[in-house]
Amino acid sequence: MNIRTKLILSVGILTGMIILLVALSVVNLQILTATEPDSPAAMPGLQRALLWISVTGGVCILASIVLLVWLPRSISKPIQELTHGIFEIANHNYEKRLDMSGHEEFSAVADSFNRMAERLAEYRASTLNDILAAKKFLEAIVNSIHDPIIGLNREHEILFINKEALTVLNLKREEVIRHSAEELSLKNDLLRRLVRELITPSEKKEPLKIYADNKESYFQASYITIMNTETDTDEPQNLGDVILLKNITEFKELDSAKTTFISTISHELKTPISAILMSLQLLEDKRVGALNDEQEQLSKSIKENADRLLGITGELLNMTQVEAGKLQMMPKITKPIELIEYAIKANQVQADKFGIQIEVEYPGEKMPKLFVDSEKIAWVLTNLLSNAIRYSKENGRVVIGAKHEDGTIEMYVQDFGKGIDPRYHQSIFDRYFRVPGTKVQGSGLGLSISKDFVEAHGGTLTVESELGKGSRFVIRLKG
Ligand code: ADP
């Protein structure tokens, strides 16, 4: 029944009752006017009429009370049901359905509502399935990566970790997922190092040495910050970090095989080169017979090349010592001037050959002494002075000197040669690196070994250089 029918029916019933009541009242009045009210003949008609009026009046009152209660309720009930249904949907209860078969106008609304709830339920099921499928897919990818991988959110809680990472870190999945990496690292040394490097990034990251499955493995950690660029704001959002451990054991083993090989070869080469140099010395000795000009020129050239070869084998041996971690320090108290004099002596022949003037800057006042492995620091100064001479123009000048300030001793070598492009100020300290276009012969090892030697003493080796103006290499050591 629709609302209109209900209203017509209610109004109809009430009107009918009122008409009936009025008719009975009229009948009663007619009886009263037609007869003597007190006469016995009028009494039965009057009583009957009064009875009918009372019954009809009572039914009228009852009907109006029923209509008064039923009518508003029957109109508001479906609205309430609809409001409740919408509320349920808003609370993600997509199973809610409306049944308004008794309310004609609302049954169409109920049908639409039920259709909408059905669609929403279907949509939720499909998105939930999609999300679960995507999650499973990502987990499968993470687990199929053979290198250990750990994903952290912004609060450094572990979101995902693959089997390899669990094995390497000796952890159990249920103990780590959704747990703070910082808290877990209190009981796990390896994780502590990874978290420390993640929080305070440094440039030089030593590989991690992990003893697992009865063998030593090396891992290089890389830290990737995950940024969400698809945000409403212009600023990309930091979502967290991924720690990736690359297994470099194989490279490490090859590298150490290479180091051993170079070390053995350099060692083996030193003896024959020394023998060549000794023979040359004998040749220069007039007692074994004088050499003609051409032979003398040849022996000079052989000596120069044998010296270079000896220098290179020395550099290679030093490098292998550093790489194998076998650098042995024998520190003793040394005066800086002694080291400078050693370097000048070792380079004098070369400087004379190119007509280069070596100037010494040494303060007159008392210079503090150094506590260093003098052989190694002398080697560094010799190498820097040799570079300064080799990379200077002929008949130029180079300066070697020392000064001290606040307990730090600075030893420097300055030239006024071609200088170094600022782009290469960092790379010249890398192994085998040579500035592109360098014509002077060399191995690209001297500066990297020098840096390692100085840093092994807790000092620094830096460069200040400008193209066309020259370079200044500075060693800083504690006095
Ligand atoms: P090498 O001199 O044997 O090549 P080094 O490690 O000593 O190796 O130097 C690395 C590179 O740095 C050189 O190849 C050269 O290009 C550049 N370099 C070093 N010292 C100087 C200098 N004093 N002036 C200009 N360039 C230099």
Q: For the chain, what is the mean pLDDT?
A: 89
Closest atom of ligand 1 to CA, residue 435: 16
Using one digit for the tens of pLDDT, what is the confidence trace for 18-74? 888 788 778 777 777 776 666 676 677 777 777 887 888 888 888 888 888 888 887
Ligand 1 atom nearest to CA at 434: 14
Q: How far, in Å, is the centroid of ligand 1 from the Cα of 396?
A: 17
Q: Measured between alpha carbons, how far is residue 383 from residues 41, 97, 409, 478 in Å?
A: 152, 88, 19, 21
Q: Positive or negative CA dihedral for 177, 243, 162, 192?
A: negative
For residue 387, report the distance from its CA to the centre of ligand 1, in Å. Answer: 6
**Atom 12, ligand 1: residue with shortest CA distance:** 428
Q: Which domains does the chain show, CATH number per domain?
A: 3-106 (no CATH), 146-250 (3.30.450.20), 328-478 (3.30.565.10)
Token pair recorded at residue 380: 């560094």
Tell me: the pLDDT tens digits for 241-300?
A: 999 999 899 998 999 899 999 999 998 999 999 999 999 999 888 788 888 999 989 998
Take atom 14 of ligand 1 and give the residue whose Cα is closest: 434
As a whole number of Å, the end-to-end CA separation of the chain is 106
Instruction: Label the pairing between strands 237-247 and 149-153.
Output: antiparallel
Is the minimum distance from the CB of 444 to ligand 1 under 6 angstroms?
yes
pTM over 0.75? The answer is: no
Q: Give the position, in ligand 1's atom list, of the atom nearest the Cα of 447.
A: 6
Q: What is the dihedral of CA 58, 63, 68, 72, to 10 degrees?
A: 170
- Confirm or reject: Cβ of 442 under 6 Å from ligand 1: yes
Cα(461) to centroid(ligand 1), Å: 14
Query: Ligand 1 center to residue 419 CA distance, Å?
Result: 10
